[in-house]
Structure 1
Amino acid sequence: MAVITIFRQVGCKGRYIAENVARTLDYHFADYATAERLMLQCGFQQTPQVYNSVSDFWDRFTRRGMERDQINSMLRSIVLATAQHGDVVLLGRGCFAPLQGLCDVINVRVKAPLPLRIERVMEEHSLTKPRATRFVEERDTLVADFAETSYGLSPDDLTLFDLVIDTSKVHPDTAIRWLVEAATGLRCRPGDPTAAALKVAQVPKQAVAKEFKRRERLRTEKLPRL
């Protein structure tokens, strides 16, 4: 079993890469929507509001700040439980952070130059250049803030990633092939720490198993009958 985490900047084709890697490997796919669903199942109701806000100095002294800490703790538990389940591609802002040093995990960062990312966002969302620029800059700030305040790690520290892909130089389809090959060829030595051996809390573990079974059932129901 292998785990691939993908941290990407907006406009880098990271979602396209992640979804197609999961599809090619027949892995589970988990993104923010998955995490939100699991967190709500575990009893958290304020996930979207806190997750999509940039904390400021005063958040440290407010109830929202405490709620954010609780949500970050639950999110970390869900990331660990999802990784422990195995055979999954995790697309998210901080999935790489709690999964460092595990031999069956490939932490990937997908990036591209800012002008190209703005151009892609303009095309994909039919935005003017000023609006696309503002959108990209706001998302970059939000993503960096989340990783740093949640885990104390900067996504600009490339030593946290096993592979960094610049989609201005590497075609997304090439990146997909690379990651599929890397996952299928992944080998661990005896005694190496693994995601599969992680000790995880029962509540998120059960929620992850239930969610993936639900998805598998839905996928099976959609298959054509012969």
Structure 2
Amino acid sequence: MPIITISRGSFAGGTCVAHALAKQLGYPCLGREDALALAAKEYGIVEEELRKSLNESPRFWEEVPGKRLAYVKCLTAVLLDQAREGNLIYHGNVGHLLVADIPDALRVRVVANIEYRIQAAMQQASLTREKAIAYIHQVDESRRRWARLLYDVDCDDATQYHLVLNLGQIRLDSAVTVITQLWEQPEFRPTEQSKQQFDDVHLGSQVWAALAKNPVTRSAGIHVEARDGHVTITGNAPSTQSLELIPKIAGEVKGVLGVQCEAGMGSDWYW
């Protein structure tokens, strides 16, 4: 169940840190691309559509993320599915936000100066210097807009992380050592309370994803809260048919013991 997330800018070295840490700890390592493939398979989403929706920067008029939000919920459900099997290291964009409600997840941010990233992009992606700079700036801005749209946060805000490491200043093995030492501290050891909270968040994400998968019940205005197997659904749905179907679909999710639907019809359900 314990999770370590490695968030990073493009070509900042986060992927290398994640794989080296996984080797050191003997944990499985899941990257964003693999998680997207699993989400597409699990929830019947065309993988290219999922990848495009989550990679492209949202337009300025997208006040309600709709389908993009559903895809993030599906990604969260898959990530927690994997973590439930045991310890997990996840590296990818906004990974720390996907597990924001998991109390003993270790959230690490890997950064590097722009020259380090430019050189890495040129070497790893065979880009010219000009194209490397343009790519890095484009991806950074896209990720900032994503975080603002879906979570109303700034990914560069260090207060979101337990640890920020600059690979332009320290060696890879030193970064792994620091993370390992922090991971061994009591704050990150699961308790009965944190295990229950994990199960609640996991179940809630599965219910949300199941509702989003069905074209009748999908709604950007639905909120799902799970506690000890009992699910409460609030917010707004698009139709009376949707309101009738929501409890049925939610109740069919494995682990759900009861459903209380307090949702109504409103104007903020837009997909």
TM-score in terms of structure 2 length: 0.66
Q: Which residue of 2 aligns with 1:198?
A: 199
Cα distance in 2 for partners of 1:67, 1:53 equals: 13
Instruction: Give aligned-pair identity as a percent.
Output: 22
Residues 85 and 149 (structure 1), Cα distance of their counterparts in 2 relative to 1, 3 Å cut: farther
Could you tell me which amino acid in structure 1 is paired with residue 96 of structure 2? F
Deviating runs (4+, > 4 A) in structure 1? 189-192, 202-205
Cα distance, 1:11 vs. partner? 2.1
Q: Which residue of 2 aligns with 1:44?
A: 45
Cα distance in 1 for partners of 2:93, 2:102 equals: 18
Q: Which residue of 2 aligns with 1:132?
A: 132
Matched, 1:21 2:24: no
Residues 204 and 101 (structure 1), Cα distance of their counterparts in 2 relative to 1, 3 Å cut: closer
Q: Deviations over 1:40-59 (max 9, x none)?
A: 12222221120111111344
Mind listing any 5+ residue stretches in structure 1 that lack a counterpart? 206-226
Q: Which residue of 2 aligns with 1:114?
A: 114
Any conservation in 2 of the 1:54–1:142 contact (CA below 8 Å)? yes
Cα distance in 2 for partners of 1:50, 1:75 equals: 12
Q: For the pair shown, which has the larger CA radius of gyration, 1 or 2?
A: 2
Cα distance in 2 for partners of 1:195, 1:87 equals: 16
Cα distance in 2 for partners of 1:99, 1:195 equals: 14
Cα distance in 1 for partners of 2:191, 2:40 equals: 37
Any conservation in 1 of the 2:29–2:88 contact (CA below 8 Å)? yes
Cα distance in 2 for partners of 1:100, 1:159 equals: 13
Structure with the bigger RCO (C-alpha within 8 Å, sep 6+) is: 1
Cα distance, 1:88 vs. partner? 0.4
Name whichever structure is richer in helix by fraction.
1
Cα distance in 1 for partners of 2:24, 2:169 equals: 22
Q: Secondary structure at the match of 2:89?
A: strand
Cα distance, 1:204 vs. partner? 5.6
Q: Secondary structure at the match of 1:76?
A: helix
Cα distance in 2 for partners of 1:125, 1:67 equals: 30
Any conservation in 1 of the 2:73–2:205 contact (CA below 8 Å)? no
Cα distance in 2 for partners of 1:188, 1:150 equals: 29
Cα distance, 1:185 vs. partner? 4.1
Residues 38 and 161 (structure 1), Cα distance of their counterparts in 2 relative to 1, 3 Å cut: same
Cα distance in 2 for partners of 1:40, 1:175 equals: 33
Any conservation in 1 of the 2:7–2:110 contact (CA below 8 Å)? yes
Mind listing any 5+ residue stretches in structure 2 that lack a counterpart? 208-271
Cα distance, 1:198 vs. partner? 2.8
Cα distance in 1 for partners of 2:101, 2:51 equals: 30
Could you tell me which amino acid in structure 2 is paired with residue 164 of structure 1? V
Could you tell me which amino acid in structure 1 is paired with residue 203 of structure 2? A
Any conservation in 2 of the 1:9–1:110 contact (CA below 8 Å)? yes
Residues 202 and 152 (structure 1), Cα distance of their counterparts in 2 relative to 1, 3 Å cut: closer
Cα distance, 1:203 vs. partner? 9.1
Could you tell me which amino acid in structure 2 is paired with residue 136 of structure 1? I
Cα distance in 2 for partners of 1:138, 1:4 equals: 27
Could you tell me which amino acid in structure 2 is paired with residue 147 of structure 1? A
Residues 33 and 190 (structure 1), Cα distance of their counterparts in 2 relative to 1, 3 Å cut: closer
160-169 vs 91-100, greater mean Cα deviation = 91-100
